Amino acid sequence: MPTNAIRSIAFGFASAAGLVLAGPVAAQETLTVWFTKGFYKGEDDALLQMIDKFQKATGVKVDLSLYSTEDCVTKSVGAVEAGTPPDVGYCTTYDFRTTGQWAWEGKLEDVTDVIEPLKENFQPQALATTYLMHGKTGKKAYYAFPVEQQTMHITYWKDMLEEAGFKEGDIPATWDAYWDFWCDKVQGGLRAKGKRVFGIGHPLGVAASDTFYSFLTFANAYDVKIVDDRGRVILDQPANREAMIKAVKAYAAIFQRGCTPPSSVNWLDPDNNVNFHNRTTAMTHNATISIAAKHLDDMNNPALTAEQREQAKKNYYENIRTAYFPKKPDGGTLPNLAAVKTAVIFADAKNKKRAREFMAFMMKDENLKPFVEGSVGRWYPVTVSGAQSPFWTDGKDPHRAVVHKQFSDGTIPFPFVYNYKFTAVNAENVWAKAINRIIQDKVAPEQAVDEMIVRIKQIAG
């Protein structure tokens, strides 16, 4: 069992079935599976139930290890490099960090044979992100399984908005007016009451994936084209360069105007959540509804007092809002930038046959749907049937209703779907570095963008 695993579980088929066997028993077949540990108990419970069903159906013992988000991908990379990967891996940052590169390098199994029978139930945009290029053959195939997905949302405190003297109907729908409203009016109204708070929680840390997700959302608002459909870098084309200059100016301006905490230049991924929960910020943008979902989880947590659970319920249903981004600067609708979380079977896996069976089993509606819904809305389904579940469509949950509408409106992928080397661009976070060149080193936006383009072409050109 890996020493750093948060949890390692191996269920035997015989014990799960309650059987007592006498005499010598043949060695049991084993499947090794690594997953990111869920944020919520419901995710892990659904996974364990699915594994138990698989073991009972097949007689195969599943050796499951659950790791923290960062440990999961770090250990996976080390195991792949050493030639000793698990049979199946699902880490929620594979898509950002490794899936495209592993496919290119021949480190993943072609799983087209498993995907094809299920193809009609996958949402096309989600499935497309797993259709990847193999560097040696020069051909594309399905090298990963789409499991769940995320996109960007606005989250704000309704009661803080009202305390500042405004109603929800006062929030502008147009781009510049929207950010001005939170920066000047809401922050100004709260400061006038003696509160040391900020209008916006604006991720700027180089080490945070939140920063590049948020910034690329701004870039999409300004219609920046970074790569073409063949993965070629086109950011240096004059129109795209000019659009990128506008995007970095807009993103940096929120810090320059003092509308986000000074510490946001050093934020890691949890920090915009923490500042929001602490009411240091009135609004933030986040790539899941984990901020609201934390209160949903708390209101059902028996370890908390009745008073704490009641306050969490009030926060979830009354005080916290999930909302769409404003219209783009040109008045158009901002496209939803989606990241699809991927599971893989490794080329060096010891039990590929059972790994295929396991993933086919997991992708069944009755198994995948409870796993995705166990995240209480943090992740959205990749299947048509999953998205049609009352969990998303009954309109009873104010946060999930917004998420469902966003995905129903359509999504666009990250540049790394077209050019896997952009996983390295994101890992280096050239986007955040450019912003920090402007706000900390005081260089002109034009210079910061030109440096960005040079570095992107060095990595991905």
Q: List pLDDT tens digits, range 259-282.
A: 999 999 999 999 999 999 999 999
The torsion of the CA quartet 23, 27, 28, 34, rounded to 10 degrees, works out to 140
> Is a pLDDT exceeding 60 seen at residue 367?
yes
Half-sphere exposure of 217 (CA within 13 A, CB side): 28
Single pTM value for the model: 0.89
Domains of the chain: 7-143+339-412 (3.40.190.10), 153-337+419-460 (3.40.190.10)
Alpha helices in 116-208 (DSSP H): 124-128, 158-163, 175-180, 187-192
Confidence of residue 28 (pLDDT cuts 50, 70, 90): confident
Output the pLDDT for position 10.
40
Round to whole Å and give the CA distance between 123 and 259: 38
Mean pLDDT of the chain: 93
> Is a pLDDT exceeding 60 seen at residue 13?
no
Output the pLDDT for position 27.
66
Confidence of residue 135 (pLDDT cuts 50, 70, 90): very high
Round to whole Å and give the CA distance between 433 and 205: 9
Round to whole Å and give the CA distance between 174 and 365: 39
Q: How many CB atoms lie within 10 A of CB 135?
A: 11
